[in-house]
Structure 1
Amino acid sequence: MSELPDATRRRLLSAAAGAGAAALAGCANVEVGDGGTETTATPKYDVAVSHDETAWAKYDPDWAGPTDPPVPADVTVEVLVENLEIPWDLAFAPDGDLFITERTGNVLRFDAGEVTEVTAPDGVLDAEAMEPGTDERSWFIAGGEGGMLGIAVHPAYPDAPYIYTYYTTQPDGEPKTNRIARFDVSADDPAATEEVLVDGIPGDAIHNGGRIAFGPANYLWATIGDAGEKELAQDPSALPGSVLRLTPDGQPHPDNPETGDPRVFTYGHRNPQGITWLPDARPIITEHGPDGRGETNLLRAGANYGWPEVRTAEAYAGDDEYAHPLTNSGEESWGICGCVFYTGEAVPPWSNRLVIGTLIGQHVNLVTLNREGEAPPRDEDAQVFDEPWYDDALAATSHRTLQDVLGRVRHVEQGPDGDLYAITSNRDGRPKSESPFPRERDDVLVRLTLAE
């Protein structure tokens, strides 16, 4: 396993964005922080997209899970950007541009080795980043777990030059809430083009969820935490503790379950912070658990995933009412977070596996999912999830790698080039007390490739 190489210090350049699509000027009513609206000149684009999941570039209904273990693999960790302020999410545009959020309120673009600021909306909760290299530990820094969180890019980008963000806001001392908003990054001032698509999602210092992504059929998905109100997770009419499936304009998917809020796809979640899709287009999420017990779940429309009623092996073993997990970390805390089902060839031993970042675990988990008839890679390093109470749709086997190499890994993502990218969360005050993180270069964006 290679040590982190030196890298050039982060550079913030001009705030201009570069996606200049032809547009017809128009006006839109945009919600502002105090709950009112203002009219702003906003270009209108042809945002129509196909909703045929079989047209997805990664679609493969006949995919097979690997049977060889994914480790050891000699992986090179290349630092691309240093001194980020608690980066939370990554999203690649179809043209290769990479957008990054920082919990402190910024949206950045990484292109051709340079970082530029795209926008910093006024309404984002003011989160705090610890200083690089500090020994200080503070579980609840300013902003708690809120701030600028998830990001997604419109599937028709740059013809529809929209980015979507999920962020925490707290106007005028009101309770914290989360919202999903859309911005035109081709505008001179993207913040002035904000369109709030989903507002009033309950927020808190903890459990804000926050991952958003476009799925194989070009619908927008969002993971919503229970915001510390765990009883609401059992109410499909409430947003806390749910996964939403939306149109690109923020409306309910036309085929969502009919029970409860029409935007809700599944419910009974605690604090889901990762979402990805198998090659057959089935969605998978990762979610934080209590006292360990982080989970990986295969989503089924309308299903109840049990929080807070079930979470332990004993409770699941006697239950036939709730959906069961593919993996559950038991009493060990992984701090399971952002994930991607990796299909690239830059790290061939990891291909066709679920790659998951962990926070308190300070490692990367490689989860192999196998169908009936396949031989799972269950060597001596494997953690096996084969008790009868697990979801038997797929056999799950986990291996861990990059232990304490990056520190707290917030998210991993596959780029258009097939490489793997990851961001750290070492300046959020929560590294282990004995950990060397944050280092002077933290936080970082890295690329993972197989060593030559």
Structure 2
Amino acid sequence: MVRSRSLSLRPLARPRPRGAAACLAGLALLAAGCTGGGGDSADRGNATGSATPGPSGETSRSPGASAAPAEGSVKVVETVATGLKSPWGLAPLPDGDLLVSSRDEGTVSRVDAGTGRTTELGSVPGVDPDGEGGLLGIALSPDFAEDRYVYAYFTSASDNRIVRMRYDADREAGRQLDAPSTVLRGIPKGMIHNGGRIAFGPDRMLYAGTGDSGDRSLSQDRESLGGKILRMTPDGEPPGHGNPEADSVVYSWGHRNVQGLDWDADKRLWASEFGQNTWDELNLIRPGGNYGWPEAEGRAGEEGFIDPVAQWEPAEASPSGIAVANGSVWLAALRGERLWRVPLKGEETVADPQAFLESEYGRLRTVVPDGDGGLWLVTSETDSRGTPGEDDDRILKLEVS
């Protein structure tokens, strides 16, 4: 089903380097963004030097990094599944099938990637689906073949938390997930800005994007888990190395609401962030980096804050999930109802972002690499802010370049 709604695309500014004192290349875009009214509700900073801290705090350089082509393409090759209710997180299984979480139902289901058949594995007890909260991101343990752990980030009656559950495919449908054990609790919750994306990095550590839960002061409060990117062991403990403080899981701060995390081929962490009324952002994440919220949205060029690599006006983004594939960051836009491609060369953009699938499938929530250079894309029309059609919500398989 192609939607008849149309959104105007404003011209995008060309990439603007920031000089030797800044290793994040600036890109002023007069294009897309997210405001609090757009659903699931940005950052800045001057960084110095050319070395990029990796997931463990080490630095990596890629002076000979090849650039992604300025122009790309997207082709929807298959609608894998339809009729999903408030899908949020997506985790590909080793055999090619997909696990998907339902924000409002509090369930995890398995989607047969060949037939589209959806089987509920079980519900996650304690989920409180209120406002933008509920069962959000999911991720597989890096040792999933041995431990069968599925990790989940969800909103409870008192906080946001991360749990893990063993998945036993030999049990009957609806009972294949063990009772959850808590990995981390105490992430502030609210009707808005609950963050929710979790992912294991190339260092085998667990990362989580959190939100300020509507309380701006939390983002600059180093003692709070709100408005942060967190990095922890699979057991929820501080890693002991690589984080700004050895006894803390806080990795970066000054965030408003982070719902997209992924790494490029050089193990650099990228994150999307919802702005308020001015700019949404794509950020290159550095351990100990302060991304500025609530002092400003978007690029500010102020000492002590890290500026975004790309930024959009709110009506054309509201960025949730991101994925890195074929040298570009792909960003799923909710309010903007499009998939953005940001071509990279190392830490910099090489051309204006391109928008694909504009208004064709409605709100876009999650995008995940399929392991073969393509993407899985999850729509988000049944989250109470969309206008769902007969087939919503769906998982699409994309061929991209």
TM-score by length of 1: 0.70
- Tell me the SS of whatever aligns to 1:448: strand
Contact between 1:213 and 1:275, CA under 8 Å: does it hold in 2?
Answer: yes
How far apart, in 1, do the equivalents of 2:221 and 2:233 lie?
A: 22
Partner of 1:79: 79
The 10-residue stretch of structure 1 (330-339 or 294-303) with the greater mean CA deviation from structure 2: 330-339
How far apart, in 2, do the equivalents of 1:199 and 1:155 lie?
A: 21
Partner of 2:390: 440
Distance 1:310 1:259, change over 3 A: farther
Contact between 1:152 and 1:164, CA under 8 Å: does it hold in 2?
Answer: yes
One-letter code of the match for 2:388? P
The within-5 A match list for 1:120-135 is 120-125=123-128, 127=129
Unaligned runs of 5+ residues in structure 1 are: 5-51, 55-59, 128-142, 171-175, 343-350, 372-392, 432-436
Contact between 1:237 and 1:260, CA under 8 Å: does it hold in 2?
Answer: no
Q: CA offsets per residue over residues 323-343 of structure 1, 9 Å max, x none?
A: 11101214544111101001x
One-letter code of the match for 1:64? S
How far apart, in 1, do the equivalents of 2:74 and 2:378 lie?
A: 19
Contact between 2:262 and 2:322, CA under 8 Å: does it hold in 1?
Answer: yes
Contact between 2:167 and 2:178, CA under 8 Å: does it hold in 1?
Answer: no
Q: Please tell me whether residue 166 in structure 1 is matched to residue 153 in structure 2.
A: yes
The within-5 A match list for 1:6-405 is 63-70=65-72, 73=73, 75-104=75-104, 105-111=106-112, 112-113=114-115, 114-125=117-128, 127=129, 143-170=130-157, 176-186=158-168, 188=171, 189-259=175-245, 262-313=248-299, 316-317=300-301, 319-330=302-313, 332-342=315-325, 351-371=326-346, 393-395=347-349, 397-405=352-360
One-letter code of the match for 1:158? A
Contact between 2:209 and 2:261, CA under 8 Å: does it hold in 1?
Answer: yes
- Tell me the SS of whatever aligns to 2:120: strand
How far apart, in 2, do the equivalents of 1:291 and 1:370 lie?
A: 29
TM-score by length of 2: 0.79
Contact between 1:95 and 1:158, CA under 8 Å: does it hold in 2?
Answer: no
How far apart, in 1, do the equivalents of 2:100 and 2:278 lie?
A: 28
Unaligned runs of 5+ residues in structure 2 are: 4-53, 57-61
Deviation at 1:63, TM superposition (A): 4.0
Deviation at 1:202, TM superposition (A): 1.0
How far apart, in 1, do the equivalents of 2:78 and 2:380 lie?
A: 17
How far apart, in 1, do the equivalents of 2:199 and 2:63 lie?
A: 21
One-letter code of the match for 2:332? G
- Tell me the SS of whatever aligns to 1:339: strand
Deviation at 1:353, TM superposition (A): 0.7
One-letter code of the match for 1:185? Y
- Tell me the SS of whatever aligns to 2:203: coil
Between the two structures, name the one with larger relative contact order (CA 8 Å, sep ≥ 6).
2
How far apart, in 2, do the equivalents of 1:248 and 1:184 lie?
A: 14
Q: CA offsets per residue over residues 228-282 of structure 1, 9 Å max, x none?
A: 1110100121100000111111111221434496100001100010001111001
Deviation at 1:68, TM superposition (A): 3.2
How far apart, in 1, do the equivalents of 2:185 and 2:389 lie?
A: 37
Deviation at 1:205, TM superposition (A): 0.8
- Tell me the SS of whatever aligns to 1:193: coil
One-letter code of the match for 2:143? A
- Tell me the SS of whatever aligns to 1:231: helix
One-letter code of the match for 1:107? V
One-letter code of the match for 2:163? A
One-letter code of the match for 1:181? V
How far apart, in 2, do the equivalents of 1:63 and 1:214 lie?
A: 24
- Tell me the SS of whatever aligns to 1:179: strand
How far apart, in 1, do the equivalents of 2:305 and 2:397 lie?
A: 38
One-letter code of the match for 1:81? A
Q: CA offsets per residue over residues 164-195 of structure 1, 9 Å max, x none?
A: 0001111xxxxx41110000002744554311
Partner of 1:131: none
Contact between 1:275 and 1:283, CA under 8 Å: does it hold in 2?
Answer: yes
How far apart, in 2, do the equivalents of 1:398 and 1:121 lie?
A: 38
- Higher Cα radius of gyration: 1
Moved over 6 A (4+): none
Distance 1:236 1:278, change over 3 A: same
Distance 1:63 1:99, change over 3 A: farther
Q: CA offsets per residue over residues 327-367 of structure 1, 9 Å max, x none?
A: 1214544111101001xxxxxxxx21111100000000001
Contact between 2:90 and 2:101, CA under 8 Å: does it hold in 1?
Answer: yes
Q: Please tell me whether residue 412 in structure 1 is matched to residue 399 in structure 2.
A: no
Contact between 1:53 and 1:216, CA under 8 Å: does it hold in 2?
Answer: yes
How far apart, in 2, do the equivalents of 1:327 and 1:249 lie?
A: 33
Q: CA offsets per residue over residues 92-142 of structure 1, 9 Å max, x none?
A: 1334331111112110112342221112022111x3xxxxxxxxxxxxxxx
One-letter code of the match for 2:119? T
Q: CA offsets per residue over residues 196-215 of structure 1, 9 Å max, x none?
A: 01012110110000000111
One-letter code of the match for 2:303? D
